[in-house]
Structure 1
């Protein structure tokens, strides 16, 4: 069979055996390109299809399915209580939202601590939940003490699983930290060890590092010495980007938020007021209003119906 150069042009160029139209969303390289250009990165959490849709419509660079949903969405007292099955349900829901935000997913407490092979399997299972899941995020302590998690992260990276490390205040380790406290601000050793931890995480293959609740000078210094993006939360504006929990950012649970949060709107008040208005409209029978909120039936059909009922 002779195939001329002209006839080849009639077929689209492709590099795979099958072609499927896949919606465009940010990749790690896209994020790195923006980081190299010096443009601040935006990241926000989402816990379901609706919040993920909002994040995507706002064109946020990254979307984090964080285990913080244990408290913000499920009502638990801490992230530690969250089960993997519950978490997977939310990850799948978030990934159904359309948009360009790159999805990063937490490794919840208990998913890797007990056994290395189990931890690797759980990470692979999370990555396989949806094609939009691009990276996992792992909370890690100081390199000098949390040797197991450092090794776990290294194993993930060596297998081609992208890892965003999370240092500083790590909520999953809140008991060992003595509570929700600012980190690396009490001693020279703490500061040195946090900096060394960040360098080690870069060395073993992490593509980015999230820094939570550390002095802004410390976060800015570490960012300047690393060649991978840093995402800050409660770490000042010297990091490569910022992340906030969506319920804090939008005031979905009222005005009580951490010090480092700038609340852009109070959705709890807006929602409560909207519900009060709805209840009042129901009670005074102004809702539903005949016409705008109701459906019609033809008069002759209605008369026929009434006649049939009366005959019976």
Structure 2
């Protein structure tokens, strides 16, 4: 298992940081060790220091700072609305949580579409946000057009450029939420057309060939995702892609039931944190209304009798006559 490494960093090379008590983070090599041992890789989103602490303490292999934080944590109507600097702020907060999980960062909408150079600069900015950031994730579409007019997806070109510069990239295929309008909504991909399913397969192959260390498959029929996984030599992570992949990822707010909304079919609600939290805060509000909280003996602080007497003497003394 991957839980038995030394808990602190050891200095072995001139550029390696000296031991500071920081817990050793998982590397791509560690994830590949699980992959080759056929041990499923667990991945979960986190949006701030608290949720990252929960994910780290739970022992997840990968913590994804996903752009889903826009809708799940910040109240936006779409993940496409969050800005780069706002997103980077949350990346830094997640990275402050101690723990060994590999930290992966989404490339949010608008941070790489203008040009290859913009995308490179965004990825570099994320990698420089914290030493804990291990790589970036990019949503990649299938080729557009037919025959000789078919064009390679722009994001695939960007992924290749990043890999050539030594920036670890996880490619994201199938349902790509940032392109929901182009895809006519949040729908399963590759289930209605063999050609579409084949396009997902070929895109996944291309991502592997250009150097991506992993491929995420979202909302892809489990037979297709299993077929792709069997033919790739890099780990596949699934969300709504069945059991035939090498690992799973879910949105933390779905797992915990943080919101009153129903979770999507691809997720599983393991708790109801929303209802529990509301109930606990309601108890607090009622205790305040009924003056049950605070309790002076339990929650308050005392003052010595002699200091109290001296205080009264000071405040009750009248103004001095000059």
Say if 1:79 and 1:18 are closer, same or farther in 2 by CA, change over 3 A.
closer
Instruction: Please give the per-residue CA displacement for 1:58-85, whole angstroms capped at 9, x wherever unaligned.
Output: 1100000000001011111111111001
- Bigger mean CA offset, 186-195 vs 146-155: 146-155
Consecutive unaligned residues of structure 2, counting only runs of 5 or more, are 1-9, 145-150
Q: Report whether the alignment pairs 1:265 with 2:263.
A: no
Q: What 5-or-longer segments of structure 1 have no aligned partner?
A: 1-11
Distance verdict in 2 for CA 1:97–1:19, change over 3 Å: closer
Aligned match of 1:225? 231
Cα deviation 1:127-177 (Å, max 9, x = unaligned): 110001001000000045552111111011011000000000000000100
Q: What is the correspondence of 1:1-312 to structure 2 with a 5 Å cutoff? A: 14-16=12-14, 19-21=17-19, 22-144=22-144, 145-312=151-318
Q: Distance in 2 between matches of 1:229 and 1:306?
A: 72
Please give the alpha-carbon distance, in whole angstroms, between the structure 2 residues aligned to 1:235 and 1:63: 19
Question: Retained in 2: the 8 A contact 1:140–1:146?
Answer: no
The separation in 2 between residues aligned to 1:114 and 1:311, in whole angstroms, is 73
SS at match of 1:177: coil
Indicate how the Cα distance of structure 1 residues 178 and 18 shifts in structure 2: closer, same or farther if over 3 A, else same: closer
Q: Distance in 2 between matches of 1:92 and 1:14?
A: 27
Deviations 1:96-152 (A, max 9, x none): 000011000000111111111111111111111000100100000004555211111
The two structures have a TM-score, normalised by structure 1, of 0.94
Distance in 2 separating the partners of 1:267 and 1:295: 32
Contact conserved, 2:175 with 2:188, CA < 8 A, in 1?
Answer: yes
User: Per the alignment, do residues 156 and 231 of structure 1 end up closer, same or farther by CA in structure 2, a change over 3 Å counting?
Assistant: same
Where has structure 1 moved over 6 Å in runs of 4 or more? none
Give the TM-score, by structure 2 length: 0.91
The CA distance in 2 between the partners of 1:245 and 1:295, in whole Å, is 42
Q: Structure 1 residues 307 and 276, CA, compared in 2 at 3 Å: closer, same or farther?
A: same
> 2:11–2:17: 8 Å Cα contact kept in structure 1?
no
Count of residues in correspondence between the two structures: 301
